[in-house]
Amino acid sequence: MFRILSKRVLTPSITLMEVEAPRLAAAAQPGQFLIVRAREQGERIPLTICDYDRTRGTVTICTQAIGASTRLINSLAEGDCFTDFVGPLGQPSEFVHWSDERLRGTRFLFVAGGLGAAPVYPQVKYLHEKGAKIDLIAGAKTAKLVILEEELRAVCDRLFVCTDDGSRGEKGLVTSVINRLLAEGNTYDQAVAIGPMIMMKFTALALKPSGIPLTVSLNTLMVDGTGMCGACRVTVDGKTRFACVDGPEFDAYEVDFDEAMRRQGMYRDLEQEKDHRCKIGRDA
């Protein structure tokens, strides 16, 4: 059993939990994910790793209540336990394999949309500790949906917050900030975008003319998390890939975002059902 050591409500639908999981914490890397089950007969939910502490033996997850199972996860309290807390799964971020010398001074641009701030945090934290230079754009619809602002600010050189309605930071979309930074002459060696599929698509369109390499995470496509269900199939560079085993991170300029968005919408109705059953073993 995996005990919840602390719980923090970030928004009415998003919670942050630090969970006791020593073996997972010892092996976790930026970019990877895990699978949780809240109860014995519960659904297996893939979640990106928001943080890990090897000394404390803990892993932090950030969960948005979308369907019955994620609502159940968010209802758990400090002291409660998950039945399963399995990982790390997926491929770590490519820069994990870079030498410390290469990372030192390398300029990164991160773009986090909404809940994407959670998987962005461990990546930026890792790079900050290696001496990389980081500009980070955090976008959300409203101020109430901006999460982990203080944590992100502590591990990047510059943080730009923007909201659709202007209630926090700059008014506008993340692409507006991207275009302004590039117009001001800022240059980057690598960019990373994590968030809603439509945001990542337009981030790719905004950055492609600059030639800046861009990585995106397709974690939101995952269902089974092990490659068995096939729900996260995506076309990358004309070839079929699975977000859970081949990713979740890919070269943004090679991703067929339109196909990915169509696939993502296939399960929307099921996610909203209180008691659904699925042939691939999802039992909420």
Could you tell me what percent of the chain has a pLDDT over 90? 77
Which of 143-157, 220-234, 252-266 is modeled with the greatest confidence? 143-157
Domains and CATH numbers, the chain: 2-89 (2.40.30.10), 94-217 (3.40.50.80)
Residue 268: the pLDDT is 56
Q: Is the pLDDT of residue 150 over 80?
A: yes
Sheet strand arrangement including 2-11: 81-82, 2-11, 14-20, 58-64, 45-53, 33-37, 84-89
Could you please report the per-residue DSSP string of 97-142? Answer: GS-HHHHTT-EEEEEEEGGGHHHHHHHHHHHHHTT-EEEEEEEESS
User: 34, 44 in Cβ contact below 8 A?
Assistant: no
Structure tokens at 1: 């059993």
Q: Is the pLDDT of residue 281 over 80?
A: no
Average pLDDT over residues 92-103: 95
Amino acid at 116: G
Greatest Cα pair distance in the chain: 54
Residue 41: the pLDDT is 81
Tell me the pLDDT band of 277, cut-offs 50, 70 and 90: very low
Which of 82-86, 178-182, 217-221 is modeled with the greatest confidence? 178-182
| pTM for the predicted model, two decimal places | 0.89
The Cα 144–Cα 34 span in angstroms is 27
User: 155, 121 in Cβ contact below 8 A?
Assistant: yes
Rounded to the nearest 5 degrees, what angle is found at the Cα of 255, between the Cα atoms of 206 and 208?
25
pLDDT digits (tens, 9 = 90+) for 160-200: 999 999 999 999 999 999 999 999 999 999 999 999 999 99
Q: Specify the DSSP class assigned to residue 202.
A: H
Residue 225: the pLDDT is 76
Tell me the pLDDT band of 266, cut-offs 50, 70 and 90: low
Residue 283: the pLDDT is 37
